Structure 1
Amino acid sequence: MFKNHIIGMPLIGKNRELKFAIENYVYNRNTSNLNSLRDISKRIIRWNIKMQLHSLDIITIGTFCYPDPVTYTTILLGLVNRDYISEYSMFDTVFNITRGFNNLPAFSMTKWFGTNFHYFKPSKHPNYNFITSLNFINYEISLLSKLGLSNIKFSIIGPFTICLMIGFSSKNSISLLLSRYNLLLSKLLVLGIKYIQAEEPLFNDCLSKHSLQIYKYIYSRIDSRLKVIFTSYFSMLNANIKYINTYGLHIDIVNNNDIVNSKLIRHFKFLSFGIIPGNNVWISNFKRITTIFKSSDPNDIIFISPNCSFRHIPYDLNSETNKKLLPNIFLSFLVQKLSELVSIKNILNRNYLYKNIYIRNTILNKKFIKYSRSFINNSSHFSQRKKKRTKFDKLGIGLLPLTTIGSFPQTNRVRSLRKMLDSKQLSPSRYRDYIFDEIHNCYKFQYSNKVDLLTNGEIERNDMVQYFCKFLEGCLITNNGWVNSYCTRCVKPPIMYGGLTIKNFNNEYKYIKILNSINLKYIITGPITLTKWSYININLDISNVIFSISNSIRSIVLDVYNLGIRFIQIDEPAIVEFIDYYSLYYDYSYISSLIINSFRFCYSDVVDKNIQIHTHICYSRYSQNMVNLLKSMGFDKVSFESSRNLSHILDFVASNSLLKYFDIGFGLYDVHSSNVPSIAKLTSSVNLIINKVGFSNVWINPDCGLKTRSYKEVSLFLKNINYVLTNVRNKIRSSKNS
């Protein structure tokens, strides 16, 4: 018999209600706004439970885990430096962690296992707080108790993953973690929770012996009175299954369906298979799923579910008003995937005729657009090119130049103009005139604040992926397909279904011509990032998608060069998560060749010109593979996100002599925090850079784009950093002359 359940639900709200409630409270912290925030949170919880009641055999709670499951779990366990804890509300504690508090820095942020969702990295600290309240968990349980429901599953990040993320290694620290976990589990047991969904994405077949020993130590001491379901996703797990001795197992078979018939899993009393992708918007392949289970024993109880949480996809396809969207037969958002789970369960239980569903999916496969393979074989072409690194004294830019990564604050005026355009209250031509004025103002703002290399006024780019994807044929932009990326930041990932050729981009060049400055940088989002941060048709070859996008970018690069622009930044912040995700399917050599060749192809028409190619990479991984990758991409300058780990990055740069191969921009302003670095802090950072790697070929910039900051904050940063750089430059020149 087949039953169903889910791993997790989104929490931002169908219309981003939580986002707006949080932002209202952050900017005006009063009791009324806090109560409103709590009410909206409860409304989202009720909706999540309601959707499960209609569809599922087990109800999962604990999925309202703002800002991310890791931070939420460490708060529940009391594994947060008590200086960050607010007695006023759980939300205030979260804001202290994510934004910084007084002189305390914000926690470091990184991507969640190859997705565009982020989490804040926990850390070891001797000053942990005591375990906190159960926050909204009591509310969830009270709702279900009133309905007389007992099949309740509580979702939490597992102790092994938390242990590795924090960096616990001694028995004392691991015992502290275990005591907090078991205390929490005992509270949940008293409240009537039946199952614990312990999410362990860090457990895989590549663990070291030491990590396996830690795992065995932890799980031999976990409170066994609750039925723990060991939950694995986004990783290959086969051989190490033999070490899992919990009551149940959930395993991702979207990426690993060979495990279904393995003898290693037969001893689990609760067996769950993640059969539909919770991180993609394409309808499930019913034929594949039913084939996987064709030999299952009808007397066995098997649970089916998405492979991961639904936090990675939009809420409801029916919310879309864009008539250009593909027919519903192609796409499946959260609400539709819940229906799929019901349909698949009924098919497997022989309650529905399989034939009808099979026909539906057969039609789907025939309608998918076939993709051109024109640009896949360019690797040899690039390897023969002679890379010429452009110096020209940085094309006229001097010592320790200051630049920005790209985007600038989104003002209320810009948001209002975009809303008027979308609602057709403003004509496209009139809108462009207004935006032209805003871009010109942005240009003047940079110039007056002594930015050495100006950007081309990204004032209108509400999202670095969506902005460029709207110029691609074969790419859809939804109206309401919002997905949470981090905190209140939401994005609308484009849906790529085929074609992918550039269209209607010429108007954008009009904005550049007026700027008329040699020290101007044009920003383009790179092919790897455009691919990774979009939903890709599962029937398309990923290399075809990437090289088709590269070809479109290539035409833009040539046009921009012909306009007189001599600095072009091709942003690739998603490289690390691209490697993480596609390592499930391909070996590293193939993945790295895609990254290198697609990037080089973007600027292949100007490779021998008097031009500098820049890039920006987030969450860099400090390994020899990354060193080789960076050296092979052929850019002249890379910007690193380094405000929270500057010393570590400088050691990485120095030990690999990276400044011999390309210029490096160090991010000294954490744009994800409202804290603007002081003159003293910036002076210390710049001196640290000079002491560790010198000043030749060094640039200074913020960590990332400035979209989420205010002009007041950006002005203060530029004022402070200019003061520091002026003093440092004068000292360097004086020492040269003496």
Structure 2
Amino acid sequence: TKWFDTNYHYIVPEIATGTEFALNPEKVLAELKETQHQRINARPVLIGPITFLALSKAVDGANAPIARLDELIPLYAQLLGLLAEAGAGWVQLDEPVLVTDILDNGPELAEHTYTALGAHRERPAIFVATYFGGLDAAMPALARTPIEAIGIDLVAGEAPSAAAVPGLADKTVVAGIVDGRNIWRTDLEAALGRLTDLSNTAKSVAVSTSCSTLHVPYSLTAETDIDDRLRSWLSFGAEKVTEVVTLAQALHGGPDTVALAIEASRAAISSRAADPRLCDGQIRARIDSIATSGSRRGSAEVRRATQAARLNLPPLPTTTIGSYPQTSAIRKARAALRAGEIGQDEYTRQMRAEIAAVITLQEELGLDVLVHGEPERNDMVQYFAEQLNGFFATANGWVQSYGTRCVRPPILYGDVSRPHPMTVDWTTYAQSLTDKPVKGMLTGPVTILAWSFVRDDQPLADTANQIALAIRDETVDLESAGIAIIQVDEPALRELLPLRSADKADYLAWAVAAFRLATSGVSDSTQIHTHLCYSEFGEVIGAIADLDADVTSIEAARSHMEVLDDLNAIGFGSSVGPGVYDIHSPRIPAAAEIAELLRSALKAVPAERLWVNPDCGLKTRSSAEVSGSLRNLVIAAERARAEG
């Protein structure tokens, strides 16, 4: 699942009643030894015990894992002793869960845990790091413990005052003043002012990034095709390290020691603020106009009747989510176009051949609503970013998502607009090959926002509305070209949910408003679909209903359709397509297995509102896996219709 509100993934530990904790220190000790051999003064970094248990999952009827904290603390104490013996002067324990309200008693647990760990004499100095939000009530709790350093995120939170947080006089505060999650250059002058104020609060202040630089690309030096003005606004991982060093020099030696760096920072900040690409009055006026006139279509009942008459689909219509396998031939053609080895006409010819093959496959399988397969798309966000004003797509700005999988988030630096249609030609070509409806496939504004590096000079809601306006124009063009069904995917709706409950309602309000802005420009006879995945939907289930899509396809196979009960509990009345098989597995599900899931779904959703589809897109599966699975999906749907 996702690491807090980032696009980084982690494996969730599962803890049963019979799970026994035991220490295995070999990996961390070996890594420490390796750095020592290279004469690196390294600080081991470990997830803290509170965060480890708070993010773990109870299984087989076990109590919440956090209840077992006292079993884990002695093992951490033992590990600290081993690290001290191995020569570690410091150890960093990451406790980002303390900036959230996941735990009702986070501050109390923090004081309990770090009083216990700090009491051990044979240990390295302890640095408790927090990030992704303000530490708030947990700050004084940690300050009362005998640890040596506390890390705070000054990008997402505020600096503590000596009056509000007694106990910092004997602590080092590690000030996360350089943004570790975004790629904008730090305003060194403003940052130095905040650091100077903070230095009056604590024993000492160490300058740092707000979190790990895992979340940003390695270095700007790899980007050669970028205009000088935009480059001057940016700071990737290596550049952020330089900013940290520069600020530390200024804090301890005075600003005159880094006068040139401060002047360069000042010039870059001024250049960015004055750039005309950051403010397009026409875009802002259009958004205000639509907001004033409203962004609603007819009622769900009216739309359902109008669309049923137009589409004439059978009960339990079958479809897929969007993407089909990205074959080596597709990737080779895209690389050849990028390298100039083939022209746009030849690339279009090859992509059309791929589209035709996908349409033929779907017709042979007997699917009811088709897709074009998205062979032309390198990524569901980058594809659109490359065609929208206000975005820059990097050449080498790779960021780890999990394991060896990396993504290349585009940079959203200015006001967003659509200079030309982005998907109409591909979609209408696919529609010309079949009499069955072909879905137009778009990525929603919140997901584009979540999977990009976003400008930090205006509210996210304003930026989301600009993206929504561009998507809205695309939906209108698709409708005008005869496309009867348009899908606007929002897999990241849950991902951007704020970490504190008090902030969630405001986020969901503007996220829903952006989606509705994007999808309300078409007539009632055009069917709007959305797709959500990668999520635990409980906290956003009401927002899913508020999106007001005509059909919502949703990841459900692994949860055995539990999400349908959640939707029913809030009176969800639109059509829904719960995923009937898990596309993340290469296993081909049997028709009987899918039919059984459909029977379960039909207990919660009437046949006239139930769609049949996989969990997610098929981009990562092989052609054989796709054909076998979809064949069984169609067979299962036919059985369910016959039984109904």
Specify if TM > 0.5.
yes
Q: Name the amino acid aligned to 1:152.
A: A
**Number of the residue aligned with 2:149:** 248
For residues 165 and 422 of structure 2, the distance between their equivalents in structure 1, rounded to whole angstroms, comes to 60
For residues 555 and 692 of structure 1, the distance between their equivalents in structure 2, rounded to whole angstroms, comes to 36
Given the alignment of the two structures, is residue 160 of structure 1 paired with residue 64 of structure 2, yes or no? no
Cα pair distance change 1:626/1:382, threshold 3 Å: farther
Given the alignment of the two structures, is residue 657 of structure 1 paired with residue 583 of structure 2, yes or no? no
For residues 411 and 211 of structure 1, the distance between their equivalents in structure 2, rounded to whole angstroms, comes to 48
Q: Name the amino acid aligned to 1:239.
A: A
For residues 337 and 156 of structure 2, the distance between their equivalents in structure 1, rounded to whole angstroms, comes to 42
For residues 181 and 426 of structure 1, the distance between their equivalents in structure 2, rounded to whole angstroms, comes to 58
Given the alignment of the two structures, is residue 567 of structure 1 paired with residue 491 of structure 2, yes or no? no
Residues 316 and 637 in structure 2, CA contact (< 8 A), matched pair in contact too? yes
1:703 to 594, 602, 615: 615
For residues 219 and 679 of structure 1, the distance between their equivalents in structure 2, rounded to whole angstroms, comes to 54
Residues 50 and 69 in structure 2, CA contact (< 8 A), matched pair in contact too? no
Cα pair distance change 1:567/1:316, threshold 3 Å: same
**Number of the residue aligned with 1:618:** 533
Residues 229 and 271 in structure 2, CA contact (< 8 A), matched pair in contact too? no
**Number of the residue aligned with 2:279:** 371
- Output one character per residue of 1:457-492: Cα deviation in whole Å (capped at 9) or x when no partner: 212212100001111112111111111223333211
Residues 276 and 307 in structure 1, CA contact (< 8 A), matched pair in contact too? yes
- Output one character per residue of 1:416-445: Cα deviation in whole Å (capped at 9) or x when no partner: 111111111111221111111111112212
Given the alignment of the two structures, is residue 288 of structure 1 paired with residue 187 of structure 2, yes or no? no
For residues 202 and 454 of structure 2, the distance between their equivalents in structure 1, rounded to whole angstroms, comes to 38
SS in 1 for 2:196: coil
Cα pair distance change 1:126/1:337, threshold 3 Å: same
For residues 298 and 462 of structure 2, the distance between their equivalents in structure 1, rounded to whole angstroms, comes to 25
**Number of the residue aligned with 2:391:** 475
Shift of 1:128: 4.4
**Number of the residue aligned with 1:43:** none
For residues 214 and 347 of structure 1, the distance between their equivalents in structure 2, rounded to whole angstroms, comes to 37
Unaligned stretches of 5+ residues in structure 1: 1-109, 733-738
SS in 2 for 1:485: strand
Residues 450 and 492 in structure 2, CA contact (< 8 A), matched pair in contact too? yes
**Number of the residue aligned with 2:179:** 277
SS in 2 for 1:420: helix
For residues 609 and 244 of structure 2, the distance between their equivalents in structure 1, rounded to whole angstroms, comes to 55
Total equivalences in the alignment: 616
Give TM-score scaled by structure 2 length.
Answer: 0.88
- Output one character per residue of 1:269-299: Cα deviation in whole Å (capped at 9) or x when no partner: 3321111111111111101111112342599
For residues 82 and 152 of structure 2, the distance between their equivalents in structure 1, rounded to whole angstroms, comes to 27
SS in 1 for 2:495: helix
**Number of the residue aligned with 2:133:** 235
SS in 1 for 2:303: coil
Given the alignment of the two structures, is residue 714 of structure 1 paired with residue 626 of structure 2, yes or no? yes
- Output one character per residue of 1:45-81: Cα deviation in whole Å (capped at 9) or x when no partner: xxxxxxxxxxxxxxxxxxxxxxxxxxxxxxxxxxxxx
1:120-131 → structure 2 map (5 Å cutoff) = 120-126=11-17, 128=19, 131=22
Cα pair distance change 1:691/1:321, threshold 3 Å: same
Unaligned stretches of 5+ residues in structure 2: none
Residues 313 and 333 in structure 1, CA contact (< 8 A), matched pair in contact too? yes
For residues 130 and 171 of structure 1, the distance between their equivalents in structure 2, rounded to whole angstroms, comes to 13
**Number of the residue aligned with 2:94:** 199
For residues 75 and 293 of structure 2, the distance between their equivalents in structure 1, rounded to whole angstroms, comes to 58
**Number of the residue aligned with 1:32:** none
Greater shift in the superposed pair: 251-260 or 402-411: 251-260
Give TM-score scaled by structure 1 length.
Answer: 0.77
Cα pair distance change 1:644/1:488, threshold 3 Å: farther
Residues 163 and 174 in structure 1, CA contact (< 8 A), matched pair in contact too? yes
Residues 613 and 636 in structure 1, CA contact (< 8 A), matched pair in contact too? yes
Residues 108 and 141 in structure 2, CA contact (< 8 A), matched pair in contact too? no
Given the alignment of the two structures, is residue 333 of structure 1 paired with residue 236 of structure 2, yes or no? yes
**Number of the residue aligned with 1:29:** none
SS in 1 for 2:126: strand
Percent of pairs identical after alignment?
29
Shift of 1:664: 1.1
SS in 2 for 1:142: helix
SS in 1 for 2:160: helix
Given the alignment of the two structures, is residue 674 of structure 1 paired with residue 562 of structure 2, yes or no? no
1:125-140 → structure 2 map (5 Å cutoff) = 125-126=16-17, 128=19, 131=22, 134=25, 136-140=27-31
Cα pair distance change 1:237/1:138, threshold 3 Å: closer
Q: Name the amino acid aligned to 1:672.
A: H
For residues 409 and 242 of structure 1, the distance between their equivalents in structure 2, rounded to whole angstroms, comes to 53
Q: Name the amino acid aligned to 2:182.
A: N
SS in 2 for 1:673: coil
Given the alignment of the two structures, is residue 466 of structure 1 paired with residue 419 of structure 2, yes or no? no
SS in 2 for 1:458: coil
Shift of 1:240: 2.6
1:313-328 → structure 2 map (5 Å cutoff) = 313-324=216-227, 326-328=229-231
SS in 2 for 1:455: coil
Residues 325 and 476 in structure 1, CA contact (< 8 A), matched pair in contact too? no
- Output one character per residue of 1:563-595: Cα deviation in whole Å (capped at 9) or x when no partner: 1111101111111222327x69x9445423322
For residues 592 and 375 of structure 1, the distance between their equivalents in structure 2, rounded to whole angstroms, comes to 22
Cα pair distance change 1:263/1:178, threshold 3 Å: closer
Residues 155 and 197 in structure 1, CA contact (< 8 A), matched pair in contact too? yes
Residues 636 and 663 in structure 1, CA contact (< 8 A), matched pair in contact too? yes
SS in 2 for 1:479: coil
Residues 513 and 563 in structure 1, CA contact (< 8 A), matched pair in contact too? no
SS in 1 for 2:400: strand
Cα pair distance change 1:299/1:569, threshold 3 Å: closer
1:450 to 366, 381, 386: 366
For residues 522 and 477 of structure 1, the distance between their equivalents in structure 2, rounded to whole angstroms, comes to 23
SS in 1 for 2:529: strand
For residues 213 and 401 of structure 2, the distance between their equivalents in structure 1, rounded to whole angstroms, comes to 13
Cα pair distance change 1:536/1:260, threshold 3 Å: farther
Shift of 1:722: 2.5
SS in 1 for 2:431: coil
Residues 93 and 128 in structure 2, CA contact (< 8 A), matched pair in contact too? yes
Cα pair distance change 1:610/1:283, threshold 3 Å: same
2:452 to 498, 519, 534: 534
Residues 257 and 292 in structure 1, CA contact (< 8 A), matched pair in contact too? no
Cα pair distance change 1:170/1:499, threshold 3 Å: closer
1:311 to 193, 204, 214: 214
**Number of the residue aligned with 1:258:** 159
Which protein, 1 or 2, shows the higher relative CO under an 8 Å CA cutoff with sep ≥ 6?
1
Shift of 1:376: 4.5
Given the alignment of the two structures, is residue 552 of structure 1 paired with residue 470 of structure 2, yes or no? yes
Cα pair distance change 1:346/1:217, threshold 3 Å: closer
1:343-492 → structure 2 map (5 Å cutoff) = 343-350=246-253, 353-368=257-272, 369=275, 370-372=278-280, 373-377=284-288, 378-382=290-294, 386-387=298-299, 388-391=302-305, 392-393=307-308, 395-492=311-408
Cα pair distance change 1:173/1:668, threshold 3 Å: farther
For residues 208 and 323 of structure 1, the distance between their equivalents in structure 2, rounded to whole angstroms, comes to 44
Greater shift in the superposed pair: 681-690 or 277-286: 681-690
Q: Name the amino acid aligned to 1:234.
A: F
For residues 621 and 105 of structure 2, the distance between their equivalents in structure 1, rounded to whole angstroms, comes to 43
Residues 440 and 515 in structure 1, CA contact (< 8 A), matched pair in contact too? no
SS in 2 for 1:203: helix
